[in-house]
Structure 1
Amino acid sequence: MKRRVLIYAHYYAPDVASTGQILQDIAEGMLDDFEVTVICVVPSYTGVIHEKYKKRKYFFEKLNGVNVVRVRVPEFSKENKLSRIKNILTYFYLGVLATRKIGEQDVVFSISQPPILGGILGLFGSWLKRAKYIYNIQDFNPEQIMSVGYSNNNIFLKLAMSLDKFTCRHADMVITVGRDLVETLKKRFANKDVPRYAMINNWIDEQNVYPLSRKNVNVLAFKKKYGLEGKFVVMYSGNIGLYYDLEGLMRVIYEFKPGTTMYDGREVIFAFVGAGTILNKLKEYVKENKMRNVCFIPYQDKSKLIYSLNAGDVHLCVNARGIKGVSCPSKAYGIMAVGKPIIGVLEAGTEIRSIIDESGCGKCCEPGDYEKIKKIIQWYIENDSAEMGERGRLILEKRLTKNRSVKEYINIIKGL
C-alpha cells in the first residue's frame, strides 16, 4: 500500500500562482510512489470567485490523479488588507475542518503561504493525522514583511516570528529554495539547534516551456494582440507586488523616452505581464507621465506562458533591497527556460543572482542602484545578447530541471 501524503497548497491548479504550479508538479510527480491529497482554496488567485464555487463550503475532485479538496473563501481585493486577511483566515479555518474530512495520512507537507499561517496549518494537520511534517519555506516571514515596511507593529512581528520558529522546530524537515535562505534559517536559531533542513531549487517545466522562433505563429499572435509587433520587448512577468521595487524601476524606465530604438532599429517597449498589489499605482504613473512605451498585460494561462515569455527579448528579474535570504524570485527559471537573457536587480549572494553570475545568462546589479539598472538596459539595447540566453537554457537543462527537484522531494519524504 502506498504511503499517503497530504499537501496544503493554498493556491492550486488552475490558479496561476507560481507556488500553486510548483505544488502541482510535486503532487503529480510523486503519484508513482504516494497517494496524494491536496487541500486548497477554490480558484481565486485574482480575488474573484466563479459562481459555481459559492454554493457550498467544500468541493472534492480528482485532478490528474491527485485528490483535491477545495474550500470556499470570500472574494478579496489585493489592495485591501482587511479583505485579504478575511480570505486567509477563512482558508486556515476551513483547511483545518477539511483535514478532518479525509482519511489517515502518513506525511503532511505545507508551504510558507499564506505567511505564518501556512506553516501553522501544516503543523496542526500533522498533529491531527499523527503524521510526519515537512515545512517548505518559499518566503521567510515576518522577515519579508519587515524588509518592505508592510507592518511596523512590533508586537505582531515578534509574535509572528515566534510562531514561525515554533513551526520550524516541530517540523521533521524544513526545506528552503535557496542557499541564502538556508543561512536565514541558521541565523534564526543563532546556528544552535537548527532544525533538520534541506535546500531544493524551484523550477519550471522545461519540457513544456522552451525557446521558440521569433516567427512562431503563437508568439506573433501574442505580440499582435498586445501591440508588441516589431518591437524590442523588455519584459517583466510575474507578481506586480510589494517586494520588487517596481515603482523605482518605473522611474528608470521613464528615462527611456517613447521612440527609443535599439541597434537593429526596433523600437523599445517595456511590457509588464501579471497583476498584483501595486498594479494600479504603476498604471497611474504611466498615465500621468504619458509613457507610451509601457504596456500592461494580464496574467497568462499556464498553457500560454511559453508564448508570452518568448515574446520578451530580455526579461527583468527584480527584488527590493532587503529580500536577500528572505525570498527567491522563481520567475528566473521561466526566463532561462525560454533562453532569454536576464536583467537581474538582485543582491549579491542571493540564490538567483548566484545562478545568473555562475552561468553568465544575464547582467546584474544591486537593488536601488537605478543608474546601473539604466546602464544595463542601455547595454541590451546596444548589443546582441542572444548567446547569454542560450547559456541560461543550458544551465537549466544541466542542473535545474523539474524532474531533478521533484525527485529530491520524493527522496526526502521516503527518508522520513
Structure 2
Amino acid sequence: MPSYLGTIEEKYKTQKYYEEEINGVKVLRIRVPEFSKTDKKSRVKNIVSYFFGAMGATFKVGKMDYVFSISQPPILGGLLGVWGKWVKHAKYIYNIQDFNPEQVLAVGYTKNKLITDAMMWFDKFSCKRSDLVITVGRDLVETVENRFKGKKVPKTVMINNWIDENEIYPLDENNEKVQAFKKKYGLDGKFVIMYSGNIGLYYDLENLIKVVKKIKPGTKTADGREVVFAFVGAGSVLDKLVMYKESNNMDNVVFIPYQDKEDLIYSLNAGDVHWCVNAKGIKGVSCPSKYYGLAAAGKPIIGVLEEGSEVRCLIEDTKGGLCCNPGDYEQIEKDIQWFIENAGNGEVTAMGQRGHDYLIENLTREKSVKKYAEEILGC
C-alpha cells in the first residue's frame, strides 16, 4: 500500500490484497500496518508484514517471464526476488538503489556484527541468484565488484535514475503558483537555499543545520535579498532539527511539509539554490536521486558528497554547482557564502542551466527506461 509517511488510506484497511490497474498494468497491493518513522518496532512490523504478504502474493499471479525486485525493504527486497524466481521459474533482475548492510553501518544504525554479517550474507546470496543486477551509479557498480573480491561477480549494469522532465522543468520566477508557494511559507522576496526530500538518517542534517546557524538571520545577498533556509519534507530527524532551530532562535529557517507530487514543480522552483547531500560513508552505497529533480528544475546545487560518487561526478562534470566532502563543515559554509555573495550575477543561474541542459541531453526518463528494457530483455 502507499505508505511513505507511515499512514494508510482508509480504502486500503479492510482486505489483505487489492487489485488495481494503472496505465494498463495490473497491480496487486498488499495491506501493511501503519508505522512511525521514529519508531523502530513499528517500522520492522510494517516491513515484515509486507515481506510475508508479498510471498503470498506470488501465488496469486500467473506465469511470469521476469521477476524484478528492488533493494527495499533492506535485504528482504532481494530475497523476495529470489523467492519469485524459484516459484515462477523466471529470470530475476535485482535493482539495487541502496546497499545494505553498508548503509546501516555507514550511519551507525546498528553495530551488532552478527546482524550485519547475516545481512551481508543474505544480500550477496540475492545478488548471486540474480540474472542481472541493475544499480544507479558508477560507484555502486564498484560496490558489487568489491563485495565479491574478484570472485565470480554477478552481471551488473549501471542505469541512472531519472525524473520525468515533462513534469518537472524550469518555471519563471513570477509564475503564479511558485509565488503562491513562496507567500504561503514566507519566502517571497527572499533568497531561498532549499533542502527538499527525506529528512532522515543518511544526510548528516543534524550537523548541517549547525553550519546554517552561522548564517545569521537578516543576512542579505549581494543583490539585497534576505537569506532563508527552507527544509521541505519529513523524516526521523525532523523533530531534532525543529528543536535546534527553536532553541537557537534561527528565524531564517523554515520547515515545510511534503508537497503533493503535482505541486513538486512549484516547490522546487521556489528554491534559488538546492542542497544535495549524503552523510560520510554513503559513497557507493546510495545515490541521492533528488539530484535529477533539481537538475530538471534548472537549479544550482550545493553538493555535500564524497569524491567519485555518481551525483558529485554529474555536478562537477556539468559545473552545475559547488561540491565538497561530507564533514568538511568549513568548506560547506564557504560554499553557502559564495552563493550569497554571487546571487544575481548570472553565474548562479548558468550553473542551473548547465545541469538542466545535460539532463535533457543524457538523463531523460525515456533514455533510462529504454536502457532498462534493453538490459532486461537481453539478460
TM-score under structure 1 normalisation? 0.89
Q: Read off the aligned partner of 1:150 and give its amino acid letter.
A: Y
CA offset digits 1:129-175 (Å, max 9, x no partner)? 11100000001100000001000111000000000000000000001
Pair 1:275-2:238 in alignment: no
C-alpha displacement at 1:122, in angstroms? 1.3
1:412 to 362, 369, 375: 375
Provide the residue aligned with 1:231 in structure 2. 190
Q: Secondary structure at the match of 1:349?
A: coil
Q: Read off the aligned partner of 1:173 and give its amino acid letter.
A: L
Q: Read off the aligned partner of 1:291 and give its amino acid letter.
A: M
Pair 1:399-2:358 in alignment: no
CA offset digits 1:179-215 (Å, max 9, x no partner)? 0001111000002211011100011111221100000
Provide the residue aligned with 1:354 in structure 2. 313
Provide the residue aligned with 2:350 in structure 1. 387
Provide the residue aligned with 2:322 in structure 1. 363
Looking at structure 2, the residues matched to 51 and 206 of structure 1 have their Cα atoms a distance apart, in angstroms, of: 32
Provide the residue aligned with 1:254 in structure 2. 213
Looking at structure 2, the residues matched to 273 and 191 of structure 1 have their Cα atoms a distance apart, in angstroms, of: 43
Pair 1:66-2:29 in alignment: no
Looking at structure 1, the residues matched to 253 and 290 of structure 2 have their Cα atoms a distance apart, in angstroms, of: 20
Q: Read off the aligned partner of 2:353 and give its amino acid letter.
A: E
CA offset digits 1:321-376 (Å, max 9, x no partner)? 00011010011111110111000000000000001111000000000000100000
1:373 to 315, 332, 350: 332
Looking at structure 2, the residues matched to 86 and 134 of structure 1 have their Cα atoms a distance apart, in angstroms, of: 26
1:105 to 64, 86, 100: 64
Looking at structure 2, the residues matched to 221 and 95 of structure 1 have their Cα atoms a distance apart, in angstroms, of: 42
Pair 1:209-2:168 in alignment: yes
Looking at structure 1, the residues matched to 253 and 151 of structure 2 have their Cα atoms a distance apart, in angstroms, of: 49
Q: Secondary structure at the match of 1:269?
A: strand
Provide the residue aligned with 2:286 in structure 1. 327
Q: Read off the aligned partner of 1:305 and give its amino acid letter.
A: L
Looking at structure 1, the residues matched to 119 and 290 of structure 2 have their Cα atoms a distance apart, in angstroms, of: 27
Looking at structure 1, the residues matched to 7 and 249 of structure 2 have their Cα atoms a distance apart, in angstroms, of: 30
Unaligned ranges ≥5, structure 2? none
Looking at structure 2, the residues matched to 303 and 185 of structure 1 have their Cα atoms a distance apart, in angstroms, of: 36
Matched pairs, number: 375
C-alpha displacement at 1:379, in angstroms? 0.3
Instruction: Tell me the percent identity.
Output: 63
Looking at structure 2, the residues matched to 191 and 214 of structure 1 have their Cα atoms a distance apart, in angstroms, of: 52
1:89 to 22, 33, 48: 48
Q: Secondary structure at the match of 1:100?
A: helix
Provide the residue aligned with 2:139 in structure 1. 180
Provide the residue aligned with 2:296 in structure 1. 337
Looking at structure 2, the residues matched to 146 and 400 of structure 1 have their Cα atoms a distance apart, in angstroms, of: 31
Looking at structure 1, the residues matched to 235 and 277 of structure 2 have their Cα atoms a distance apart, in angstroms, of: 15
CA offset digits 1:359-414 (Å, max 9, x no partner)? 00000000000010000000001113111000000110111111100000001121
Looking at structure 1, the residues matched to 257 and 236 of structure 2 have their Cα atoms a distance apart, in angstroms, of: 14
Looking at structure 2, the residues matched to 306 and 66 of structure 1 have their Cα atoms a distance apart, in angstroms, of: 26
Q: Read off the aligned partner of 1:392 and give its amino acid letter.
A: G
Looking at structure 1, the residues matched to 371 and 2 of structure 2 have their Cα atoms a distance apart, in angstroms, of: 28
Instruction: Return structure 1 stretches of 4+ with deviation > 2 angstroms.
Output: none
2:81 to 109, 116, 122: 122
1:167 to 126, 132, 135: 126
Looking at structure 2, the residues matched to 100 and 46 of structure 1 have their Cα atoms a distance apart, in angstroms, of: 29
Unaligned ranges ≥5, structure 1? 1-41
Provide the residue aligned with 2:202 in structure 1. 243
Q: Read off the aligned partner of 1:403 and give its amino acid letter.
A: E
